[in-house]
Amino acid sequence: MGLTNHLSGHLDGALAGLRVIDLTGVVLGPYATQILGDYGADVIKIEPPGGDIMRHAGPMKHEGMGHIFINANRNKRSVVLDLRQEAQRAQLLALCKTADVLTYNIRPASMARLGLSFDTLHALNPQLVVCGAYGYSEGGPYSDWPAYDDLIQGAACVPWLMEQSGSPEPRYVPATFADRVTGLNMVHAVLAAVIARYRTGLGQHVEVPMFECLLQFVLGEHLGGETWQPPIAPMGHARMLSANRKPYKTLDGYICALMYNDAHWKAFLQLIGESALFDTDPRFGTQVQRLAHIDALYAFVATH
């Protein structure tokens, strides 16, 4: 499904006319290029003879069409090429001559061994934007480390956060959290490079490392008092780490509620017949006081 142009009624999008050669597999890269396709880009997915491994991750109604694969690969055309074979690699290079973007999620050294380094691609098509998404920055000390979603969640301390917020032990977020956060960053990076090309006339190589993307995402809240040196408080955001920050049990199920500002708390206290508490209980009085007593307040909500 694409974006509909409501003036013409045709499937169209802001990126119509942009051609993307997609060498990515699994979740991160396919999720990013799917979004580019949703925006109207012509995405050509290059798969090895055995196909993207996520084709075979069930459940599925049809062989080779697993549910995760389907949900990361709409709006794409598909070509099978064995890039270890020189003739088939030449076919890829022919596609790159007229493409706008090439995406990949293997290590740059592996791309170079295939004869697909940025220098090679740039010489072939100087306007080509080449975007690589992989575990760790190419210039960093961990560039050779393997990277999958669980490993990057661990490196970014996500399991520790889950334990701090009430899990009986460290655990991963039950979704491909690192892949999808990085995938969104990959979309932004590609679009920024395409815009820059309109200004300069040249493509460029862009890297989108999973570790750096997820760490920035997590530390936006949880760097806490260590934002400053020397630190003024521990790491972590008290409200988000509260064990009582969860859906509340009721007689007929659970309810999701968030009282955040003064108006929310006043309305909630009025609803439960405790309006006077806002003025008489200092824990409710200001945002600063509520954050300082967040566990007690969430426990109070849970009992009402």
pLDDT digits (tens, 9 = 90+) for 78-100: 999 999 999 999 999 999 999 99
DSSP-derived 3-state class of residue 42: strand
- Which residues, 6 or more positions from 119, have their beta carbon under 8 angstroms from its beta carbon? none
Res. 289: pLDDT tops 80:
yes
Task: Please tell me the predicted confidence (pLDDT) of residue 5.
Answer: 46
Of the residues 42, 52, 149, 179, which is catalytic? 179
Helix 177-200 to helix 210-222 angle (10° resolution) is 110
Amino acid occupying residue 2: G
Q: What is the spatial distance between Cα 185 and Cα 21, in angstroms, rounded to a whole number?
A: 18
Res. 10: pLDDT tops 60:
no
Task: Please tell me the predicted confidence (pLDDT) of residue 45.
Answer: 99
Q: Are 100 and 128 in contact (CB under 8 A)?
A: yes
Q: What is the spatial distance between Cα 244 and Cα 246, in angstroms, rounded to a whole number?
A: 6
Residue 131 tokens read as 């975007």
User: If phi over 0 gives left and psi between -120 and 50 gives alpha, with beta otherwise, what is residue 206?
Assistant: beta
Residue 94 tokens read as 């022919």
Catalytic, 150? Answer no
Q: What is the mean pLDDT of the chain?
A: 93
Q: Are 103 and 97 in contact (CB under 8 A)?
A: no
pLDDT per residue as tens digits for the range 148-206: 999 999 999 999 999 999 899 999 999 999 999 999 999 999 999 999 999 999 999 99
Q: What domains can be seen in the chain, in order of their start residue?
A: 3-219 (3.40.50.10540), 242-302 (no CATH)
Q: What is the spatial distance between Cα 166 and Cα 239, in angstroms, rounded to a whole number?
A: 12
